[in-house]
Amino acid sequence: MALLFFIISLLCTTGVTPAQFQIQPESDAVLTGSEARFNASLKGKWQIMIWEVQKLLVMTISAETGPIPSSERFSATNYSTGSTSRWEFSIRNVSRNDSGPVTCIVQGQFGARTAQLLVQESGTVDILGGNLTAAQDQQVEFQCVTSGWFPEPAVNWSRNGEVVETSLFNTTTSQSHGYMFNSTSILKFNAVSNATVECLVTVPALISPLSSSVHLVVEPGYQDEMRARTQSQISGEGANGTRRGQVNLGYQTDGQTSVPPSESGDSSFSKTDDSNICEIPDIIKSNLDENGHGGARHTPGGFRKHRHVTIV
């Protein structure tokens, strides 16, 4: 370890190590209309700090006098302690066009650090048709419609609070207005007992999914009635109709479902690295990080869930 530090300090004799100037979080997914916040922390003397959103200068902070007022949407809070200067830069009421790089530039030896702002939208979720009454072993179908999401949301189902395995449903997604995602998910299974069926939709900026739920009521005597009615109405329809309660090979009884809910990631997202010539291995970086956070605050997809949630 000592040797490693020696090599790194050799490599870093000039310039500043990343730990002495950093921006956190490195990427932030927030909902339209909410607030995005980034901390810039640095050690050492500085005079002017500049914040850019999509390469547009929106905030100037003087070490001496603090933020120089500009637009109402942007503000900065001083969290400096001891020898560490920390300024939290905030963008209120974010809109889709704020998505992209957020850069902090400190004149002098520090250079620039860039984070990514991902502005997302939570739309609607609705299971069509409401509550359903079915006979025992009858195949039932539920349709969940979502609209106005960005990026493409993750759609999942639960039955009595348990995640439904993905083989029981299909989701098709389309884009409207060029960027909003709408989807329809169809869930099918054989009715066994009464159940609460829930459709759950989420994007990374949402802490918990939005959902819609309906009740399935299974009536043991209902099947005979249905069969009688079907036979007396159309003689040919029964054999392949979904209401006849055929064996569904994809079906599993309650409690056997074990597929974890997945989160959708924005595949177009890419982390922009600042052009610091001195790259330090992650292990060292997290040791040097005074907060001990390192990159651990970020979920594997590169997202950090944000506390500011607007549920429509």
Residues that bind ligand NAG (CB under 6 A): 24, 37-39, 65-66, 78-80, 86, 88, 95, 97, 130-131, 168-170, 186, 188, 215
Min dist. Cβ of residue 10 to ligand NAG (A): 32
Closest to ligand NAG by CB, 80 or 107: 80
Minimum distance of ligand NAG from residue 63's CB (angstroms): 6
Minimum CB–partner distance for residue 266 and ligand NAG (Å): 19
Give the residue with the Cβ less far from ligand NAG, 55 or 258. 55
CB of 149 to ligand NAG, least distance (A): 18
Residue 193 to residues 71, 163, 186, 222, Cα–Cα distance (Å): 58, 16, 19, 13
Q: Are strands 48-53 and 100-106 parallel, antiparallel or unpaired?
A: antiparallel
In terms of CB distance, is 73 or 227 closer to ligand NAG? 73
| Alpha helix (H) residue ranges in the chain | 2-11, 222-233, 282-288
Give per-residue burial for 197-234: e unless 16+ CB within 10 Å, then b: bbbbbbbbbbeebbbbebebebeeebbeebbeeeeeee
| Rg of the chain taking only CA atoms, in angstroms | 27
Lateral strand order in the sheet of 132-135: 132-135, 210-219, 195-202, 154-159, 162-163
Single-letter residue type at 87: W
Choice between 117 and 154, CB closer to ligand NAG: 117
Nearer to ligand NAG, 6 or 79 (CB): 79
Instruction: Please report how close the Cβ of residue 192 comes to ligand NAG at its closest, in angstroms.
Output: 16
**Residue 7: how many other CB atoms lie within 10 Å:** 10
* Closest listed residue to residue 189, CA positions, set 163, 169, 211, 218: 169
d(CA 171, CA 267): 18
Instruction: Please identify, using beta-carbon distances, which residue of 15 and 66 lies nearer to ligand NAG.
Output: 66
For the CB of residue 267, give the shortest distance to ligand NAG in the complex, in Å: 23
